[in-house]
């Protein structure tokens, strides 16, 4: 794809694919997970047809696809960790300054501390996602294969639900800030390019590094 005029690349095609897989698998896991958890949402299971040789349809198919999608979520987070982990898993002094004013999102701020490729809020989201990923993968495996005994497995269900609540809360905020809350951000998930004006507002230090050749993206 040719570079659009007056735009700068903020996300590669591979990054966008991983982002969409993670986001799509999360939404599917929420849908099927709620269908498995709440009797009032049992109608969700009727959306799932039989899977030849594997599941008879309905609840059985939904549970199987939930487990398989959980594997997809688990595996797809590994490249995400390699791509974004170096920029997000560690907070620095400037991030603490960002938290003091909450990035200017909650009240009027004269000057928000400059951000790199990711601001402190995005870093916190990724750290939470990493911790929840560990919780969901470990508990999910032992819920799928309950070799630890019924008592401990019941506690794993509680921990799994806790992970859902934490992840769901962060995802709602993430979706809002990636769309309506920050106009021009969602196109990073589309063609990957953003305006330099957007970069100067949201990623000024990163933009200077890219323009100076200190990093490619």
Position 106 scores a pLDDT of 78
Residue 112 resides in a domain: no
Per-residue model confidence (pLDDT) at position 184: 84
* Residue 122 placed within a domain: no
Give pLDDT, residue 202. Answer: 86
- Lookup: tokens for 204: 């000024």
- pLDDT tens for residues 48-65? 999 999 999 999 999 999
Please give the mean pLDDT across all residues of the chain: 90
Q: Is residue 32 part of a domain?
A: yes
Task: Give the domain extent around 24.
Answer: 7-105+127-211
Name the DSSP letter for residue 113: P
Q: CA angle, 213 as apex, 85 and 5 as ends, to 5°?
A: 95
> How many distinct structural domains can be found in the chain?
1
136 close to 158: Cβ distance less than 8 angstroms: no
The pLDDT of residue 204 is 87
Q: Which residues pair with 193 in a beta bridge?
A: 9
CA distance 46 to 165: 25
Distance (Å, rounded) from C-alpha 200 to C-alpha 209?
12
149 domain residue, yes or no:
yes
Q: Is the pLDDT of residue 88 over 70?
A: yes
> Does some domain include residue 119?
no
What per-residue confidence (pLDDT) applies to 5?
A: 65
Are 51 and 61 within 8 A, CB to CB? yes
pLDDT at 131 over 70: yes
**In this structure, are residues 17 and 24 in contact, taking their beta carbons and an 8 Å threshold?**
no
Mean pLDDT is lowest, of 137-141, 148-152, 181-185, for: 181-185
Res 213: pLDDT: 81
pLDDT at 2: 54
% residues pLDDT > 90 (the chain): 62
Please indicate, yes or no, if residue 2 is contained in any of the structural domains: no
* pLDDT confidence tier of residue 152, bands split at 50, 70 and 90: very high
Q: Is the pLDDT of residue 3 over 80?
A: no
Give residue 1's pLDDT.
Answer: 52
Beta pairing partners, 195: 7
The count of other CB atoms within 10 Å of the CB of residue 162 is: 14
Per-residue pLDDT at 104 exceeds 90: no
> Is residue 114 one of the residues assigned to a domain?
no
Share of the chain above pLDDT 70, in %: 98
Sign of the torsion angle spanned by Cα atoms 80, 81, 83, 84 = positive
Give the DSSP per-residue string, 112-171: PPP--SS-HHHHHHHHHHHHHHHHHHHHHHHHHS-TT-HHHHHHHHHHHHHHHHHHHHHH
* Residues 194, 8 contacting (CB under 8 angstroms): yes
pLDDT of 144 strictly over 70 = yes
User: What pLDDT score was predicted for residue 76?
Assistant: 96
CATH number for 157: 1.20.950.20
């Amino acid at each position: 794809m040719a570079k659009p005029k007056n735009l700068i690349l903020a996300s590669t095609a591979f990054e966008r694919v991983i982002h969409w897989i993670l986001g799509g698998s999360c939404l599917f896991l929420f849908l099927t997970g709620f269908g498995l958890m709440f009797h009032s949402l049992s109608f969700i299971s009727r959306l799932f047809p039989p899977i030849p040789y594997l599941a008879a349809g309905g609840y059985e198919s939904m549970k199987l696809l939930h487990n398989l999608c959980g594997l997809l979520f688990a595996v797809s987070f590994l490249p995400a960790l390699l791509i974004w982990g170096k920029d997000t898993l560690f907070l620095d002094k400037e991030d603490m300054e960002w938290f003091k004013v909450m990035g200017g999102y909650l009240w009027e701020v004269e000057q928000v501390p400059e951000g790199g490729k990711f601001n402190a809020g995005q870093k916190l989201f990724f750290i939470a996602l990493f911790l929840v990923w560990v919780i969901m993968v470990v508990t999910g495996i032992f819920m799928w294969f309950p070799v630890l005994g019924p008592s401990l497995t019941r506690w794993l269900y509680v921990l799994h639900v806790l992970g859902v609540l934490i992840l769901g809360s962060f995802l709602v905020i993430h979706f809002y800030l990636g769309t309506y809350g920050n106009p021009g951000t969602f196109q990073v998930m589309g063609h990957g390019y953003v305006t330099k004006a957007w970069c100067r507002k949201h990623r000024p230090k990163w933009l200077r590094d890219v323009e100076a050749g200190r990093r490619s993206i």
